[in-house]
């Protein structure tokens, strides 16, 4: 395989620059090289496959169905996205001018994917790069004097989901179901504390670690979304308006330490600053697939102009 390496200090990302005639040829090649691809993914964290020959949603769906993975539904998901077909979704549908901050997908949940496949139907006219950040090096770059005992403590993610009319996601969208019995069973299995509230709303509380050990490398990695869940992640004027509208435990998204004590905002500011300074922007070309190790690499999105269509599947 022709593997080109992007190197930013100790962060590595691989690009496999081949050219395949169409979906069948690429799928056959991918399955034949499955073991090597797995080894590359553990080592580099992200692999971009160029000129795959995949051109449509159906091509991508065929690829996902015929490789050796078990794709997941986006249940318990927090990002606004559209389900295009079985196990295939759009990338996060925030406005084009918004920078999507660095995160590991579903790190607030026990139901998180190990891998994410992104597929480019239409690259943006300008910008719109998917950004990547090495979770190993992020731990090393954060200042212990600012972070304090953050990595020694568990944190509590809080979501207040409306029942079909309000700010943020509804619980029906979050769980892809309006069956309360299914939702209660899912939450029980995945250690999510739930409370049904007035106006058919739902409160979720999930306690998770801030750091995990990677099952393949054995190394400790950053694996949390604390800074993204705190409302200070919004533009300052939006954050100020939200503080006026909500009590702390009523924000659509909120995060505290496990015991309910507040996490200093200086920690969130430091995380965001270090993340922005060390990310790598990976540009898209039509037919590209990017495979992310969701545990070792955080991802996000740069602002863009023009039409941008990126699909994804998680496993």
The domains found in the chain, sorted by start residue, are 3-121+283-314 (3.60.130.10), 138-273 (3.60.130.10)
Nearest CA among 73, 109, 94, 84 for reference residue 192: 109
Phi, then psi, of 174 in degrees rounded to 5: -60, -40
pTM above 0.85, yes or no: yes
Q: What is the tens place of the pLDDT at every residue in 166-221?
A: 777 899 999 999 999 999 999 999 999 999 998 899 999 999 999 999 999 999 99
CA dihedral 300, 305, 309, 311 (to 10 degrees): 0
Name the DSSP letter for residue 58.
H
What does the alpha-carbon distance between residue 219 and residue 49 come to, in Å, rounded to a whole number?
26
Instruction: Give the SS3 label for residue 201.
Output: coil
pLDDT score, position 8:
73
Nearest CA among 251, 275, 308 for reference residue 129: 308
Read off the tokens for 216.
């393949």
The percentage of residues in the chain with a pLDDT greater than 90, rounded to a whole number, is 87
pLDDT score, position 9:
65
What does the alpha-carbon distance between residue 290 and residue 275 come to, in Å, rounded to a whole number?
20
Residue 10, pLDDT > 70, answer: no
Q: What is the tens place of the pLDDT at every residue in 225-266?
A: 999 999 999 999 999 999 988 887 789 999 999 999 999 999
What does the alpha-carbon distance between residue 76 and residue 161 come to, in Å, rounded to a whole number?
11
pLDDT-based confidence at residue 17 (cuts at 50, 70, 90): confident
Q: What is the tens place of the pLDDT at every residue in 142-155?
A: 999 999 999 999 99
pLDDT score, position 252:
92
């Amino acid at each position: 395989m022709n593997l080109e390496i992007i190197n930013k200090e100790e962060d590595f990302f691989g690009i496999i620059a081949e050219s395949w005639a169409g979906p069948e040829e690429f799928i056959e090649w991918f399955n034949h090289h499955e073991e090597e691809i797995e080894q590359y993914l553990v080592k580099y964290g992200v692999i971009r496959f160029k000129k795959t020959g995949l051109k449509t949603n159906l091509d991508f769906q065929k690829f996902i169905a015929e490789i050796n993975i078990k794709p997941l539904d986006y249940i318990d998901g927090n990002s606004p996205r559209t389900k295009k077909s079985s196990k295939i979704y759009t990338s996060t549908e925030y406005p084009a001018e918004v920078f999507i901050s660095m995160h590991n997908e579903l790190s607030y949940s026990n139901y998180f994917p190990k891998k994410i496949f992104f597929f480019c139907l239409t690259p943006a006219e300008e910008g719109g790069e998917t950004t990547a950040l090495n979770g190993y090096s992020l731990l090393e770059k954060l200042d212990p004097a600012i972070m304090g005992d953050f990595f020694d403590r568990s944190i509590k993610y809080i979501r207040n989901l409306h029942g079909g009319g309000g700010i943020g996601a509804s619980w029906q969208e979050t769980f892809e179901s309006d069956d309360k019995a299914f939702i209660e069973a899912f939450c029980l299995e995945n250690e999510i504390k739930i409370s049904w509230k007035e106006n058919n709303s739902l409160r979720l509380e999930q306690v998770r670690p801030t750091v995990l050990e990677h099952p393949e490398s054995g190394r400790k990695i950053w694996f949390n979304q604390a800074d993204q869940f705190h409302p200070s992640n919004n533009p300052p004027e939006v954050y100020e308006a939200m503080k006026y509208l909500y009590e702390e435990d009523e924000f659509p998204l909120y995060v505290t330490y496990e015991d309910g004590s507040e996490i200093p905002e200086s920690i969130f500011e430091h995380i965001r600053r270090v993340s922005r300074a060390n990310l790598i922007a990976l540009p898209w070309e039509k037919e590209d697939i990017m495979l992310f190790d969701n545990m070792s690499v955080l991802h996000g999105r740069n602002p863009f102009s023009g039409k941008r269509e990126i699909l994804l599947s998680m496993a």
